[in-house]
Amino acid sequence: MQLSPRFKWFSQPIDRAAIGLVILLSVAIAVLLWIGDRTAPQVRDFSWQGQRIDATNVSFTLVFNRPMNRESVEQNLKFEPPLAGKISWSSRRMSYTPLSPAIYGKSYTLKLENAYDRFANESGEKIAIEPFTGIFKTPNPYFAYIGSEGEEKGRLVLYNVLQKGKRVLTPPNLTVLDFRIYPDRQKILFGAIEAAGQSLLDQKLYVVTTGIDREDLLTTNSPEIKPILGSDDYQNFKFDLSPDGKNILVQRLSRQQVGRYGLWLIKDNQPARALENQPGGDFMFTPDSASVAIAQGEGVAILPLESQAPPLDFLPRFGTVLNFGRSGTQAATIKFNKDYTRSLYLVTNQGVQKELTKITGSILGAQFDPQEKNLYCLLTDVDQDPAKNIFREKPYLAAINLESRKLKRILELPTQREIQFSIAPDGQAIVLNSAIPSSGDSPTAQAPVEDSAKASRGSQTPQTPTQLIVLPISTSDSNTLPQPEVLPMYGKSSRWFP
C-alpha cells in the first residue's frame, strides 16, 4: 500500500529517530517541571580558597549555583578561628568583609552547611546545601629593626615573631641609618654609610633580600645586597618607598651646584631623575603611590610624581603629615600654634579638619589602626624650670578615638632621645623601642629625667641603648592597660612586615 504524501516522511529511519528523541525530551522536561529541581545547592567559588591573604585583602566572595536563602547562609557560616564581619549580597554572590584584618600567622577554616536555596519554603521541600569547607592562611608576623648592641650594632636585623628567631641581613662594614620594607616581603630598601671614615652626609641606598620566599618561608639563602643610589655627586637625605614598591623618592643636595636641592625619583629600577618641584621638608608617599605629601613653607603640598608639576592640593594650616590611613581618605597632621603649643589634626578628603588634641609638648609620631577607628600617637609631657632654663620631655603612647576624640594613655615611657613605634598590619600589636632604666623596672616606671638641652649636645653625651617592646593592642573599652613584653634585644626603628 502506498502512504499518503503527508505521512511519507515517517518512512525514513532518521526522521523516526528524531521524532522519538523530541518526544522523550518533552516528557523529561515535563517531569522535571512537575517534580522540580532536586539537586542540592552548592558553593561554586570561594575567592580566598587556598590563598595566603594579608591585611590588604579586605573582603572575599562566595558564589552559589542558585539564589540562596540569605538568612540560612548567614546563620550557618562559621569560621575557625572566629573572624567577625559584615555581609552583602548581589544575586547569587555573597561578599564578606571582616571587621578587622585576619590575624597573622593563622590558618583559617570556613564552613557552611544546613543552608537552603531561596525557593525552599515555596516548594515545601528543603534540600540542604552540600557541606562546604574553605581554607586560607595569613602571612607569618615578622619585623625588622636596626641593632644597637654587640654584633648587631648598626646592622639590619629580621625577627621571626612566631619562632622567635633572628637573622642579620647586612654586613658589619655598613651602618644602617633607615629602611623601608617592600610589600612582597622579599626585599628591604635601606640607607647606610660605611662604618669606617664616612659621615651621615655620605649615605647611599641599597636593597637587600630578606630570605622570605613567595610561600612566606624563611629560606637558608644568604642575604644579597644590591647598590641603588650613590653619593659621589649628591648628598642623600631622607628617602621613602611607595606602598606598591615601585617608586623611591630621595631628598638630594648637589655637591657641585650650590642650592640645588629637591626630590629625586627612582621609578621601576630606572636611573634617578630630579622632579624639579619646589624643595621642601619632611615628606611621605600617599597611599595610592601616585603622589607625595611634602612640607613646604607654611603648609603641606600634595605633589604628583612628575617633573615640574604644580601641586594637586595645598593644606596651608599644617606643618607636616604624620601618617595616612590605609584607605587614603584621611591623614594625621600637625598644626604649630602661635602660643607655642601643637595640635594634632585629622584631615579627610571631604574637607573635614578636626582637632584631636592640643598639647604643650611634642608630637613625635602617629599611626592609624587598620580599621582607622583609632589613632595611636607618641606624645610628650613637658616639665619646665624657667629659673634654670631647663625643660624635660617625657614621652608616652596614647590612643585617640577618632569619633569621640577621647585620648587614652596606654604606656608611660622614660625620658629618651629617640623613640619610634610601628603598628602590626593585622592591628594586634605595637612594636617600639624604649630605654629601660634598670633590669628590674618595667617600661611604665618613672625614669631619671635629664636636661634635654644637654641630651641634644650630640655624641659627647652617653646614650642609653633602647630595647624593643611588643605591646598588645586591646580592642575592648576597659580601663585595663595592656602589659608590654620587653624583648631580649636592643635596637631602634622597628617596622612590621606588611
Q: 474 near 442, Cβ under 8 Å?
A: no
Q: What are phi and psi of 16, to 5 degrees?
A: -65, -35
Q: What is the pLDDT of residue 388?
A: 66
pLDDT tens per residue, range 213-259? 888 888 888 899 999 999 999 999 999 999 999 999 999 999 988 87
The more confident residue out of 180 and 196 is 180
Q: What is the pLDDT of residue 457?
A: 32
Residue 424: how many CA atoms within 13 Å on its side-chain side?
25
Q: What is the pLDDT of residue 451?
A: 36
- How far does the chain reach from its first CA to its final CA, in angstroms? 89
Summary mean pLDDT of the chain: 86
What is the Cα–Cα distance from 93 to 98, expressed in whole angstroms?
16
Q: Residue 314: which pLDDT band, with cuts at 50, 70 and 90?
A: confident
pLDDT tens per residue, range 121-176? 665 567 889 999 999 999 999 999 999 999 999 999 999 999 899 999 999 999 99
Residue ranges of domains in the chain: 43-137
pLDDT tens per residue, range 48-95? 999 999 999 999 999 999 899 999 999 999 999 999 999 999 999 999
Q: Is the pTM of this model over 0.75?
A: yes
Q: 85 near 77, Cβ under 8 Å?
A: no
Which residue's C-alpha cell is 590605609? Answer: 326
At the topology level, CATH places domain 43-137 in Immunoglobulin-like (2.60.40)
Strongest mean pLDDT among 3-17, 197-211, 307-321: 197-211
Average pLDDT rounded to a whole number, residues 423-440: 84
pLDDT tens per residue, range 358-413? 999 999 999 999 999 999 999 999 887 666 677 788 999 999 999 999 999 999 99
Q: 161 near 484, Cβ under 8 Å?
A: no
Q: Which residues contact 134 (CB under 8 A, 6 or more apart)?
A: 43, 46, 48, 49, 109, 110, 111
Residue environment code for 183-200, b if the CB has 16+ CB neighbours within 10 A, otherwise e: bebebbbbbbbeeeeeee
Which residue's C-alpha cell is 577554616? Answer: 109
pLDDT tens per residue, range 326-351? 988 999 999 999 988 999 999 998 88
Q: Which residues contact 133 (CB under 8 A, 6 or more apart)?
A: 109, 110, 111
Q: What are phi and psi of 194, to 5 degrees?
A: -70, 135
What is the Cα–Cα distance from 95 to 99, expressed in whole angstroms?
13
Residue type, 318: F
Q: What is the pLDDT of residue 449?
A: 35
Q: What is the pLDDT of residue 22?
A: 77
pLDDT tens per residue, range 1-41? 454 555 554 556 776 677 777 777 777 676 555 555 557 88
Q: Residue 441: which pLDDT band, with cuts at 50, 70 and 90?
A: very low
pLDDT tens per residue, range 98-108? 999 999 999 99
Q: For CA atoms 184, 301, 295, 198, give the dihedral sign.
A: positive
What is the Cα–Cα distance from 83 to 56, expressed in whole angstroms?
16
